[in-house]
Amino acid sequence: MRFIPWYTDDAVRQISLEINEIKNLTGKRPFVFEFGAGASTLYYLMKGCVVYSVESDSNYAEKVIAIAEVLGVAHRLTLCLAEERYAEYYQPTDDRPIDIVAIDGDDRVACINSVFDSYFLPRIILIDNANRRTVAPAVSQFGKNYVLTEYKQTFNTELGLTTPDILGNSLREPWSTVIAKLRSGET
């Protein structure tokens, strides 16, 4: 069974390359902090990552945990239910650097600001739906410390070229995913 995040196709390909690069550089499982659990959580787990995910929907969180248990990867998943103050869950420490932050959940702007205001900068920040009017200005603040690459995708809604994922999600709107990669020498 395949689990593909609801990021743009090119962003999925790129994040897969980044995961492999982190494994090769560190010799460890990449640590992913994720705002918004779902198909991406399962994808990261199946890629061998350790995942800390914050989710606001308890039914959705239960589905993700149940599938992770069936797949035998739940031991690498910490899933926190955050009904409010979603962004406050981002609290990295010296003990375990965060390799990838994925922002694909509630209140993306607050999540972006929480990461940006942190003392610890992750290697990679992925922001899905970065083309949203409210999100795009917040994404631009990463330009100082990160190289930003935007991956765009459009679906033809008249043909209905979407297929729901295992959790029942489907998408018919154009969107973009931004991957921000830490510049050399930044910490």
Task: Give pLDDT tens digits for 146-166.
Answer: 999 999 886 544 445 455 444
Helix (H, G, I), strand (E, B) or coil at 156: coil
The percentage of the chain sitting over the pLDDT mark of 90, rounded to a whole number, equals 50
List helix spans (H) across the chain.
9-26, 39-46, 58-71, 108-116, 136-139
Tokens of 18: 């980044």
Residue ranges of domains in the chain, CATH in brackets: 9-182 (3.40.50.150)
Tokens of 80: 């926190």
- Opening angle at CA 53, ends 48 and 55, nearest 5: 145
Digit-coded pLDDT (tens) for 81-113: 987 788 888 877 777 789 999 998 778 899 988
Q: What is the pTM of this model?
A: 0.86
Check: CB of residue 54 under 8 Å from CB of residue 87: no
- Give the mean pLDDT of 50-73: 94
Residues 6 or more apart whose CB falls under 8 angstroms from that of 60 comprise 37, 38, 167
What are the CA-CA distances from residue 112 to residues 67, 100, 115, 158 (Å)?
28, 13, 5, 33
Q: Where are the beta strands (DSSP E) in 56-172?
A: 77-81, 100-103, 124-128, 146-153
Tokens of 97: 């650097």
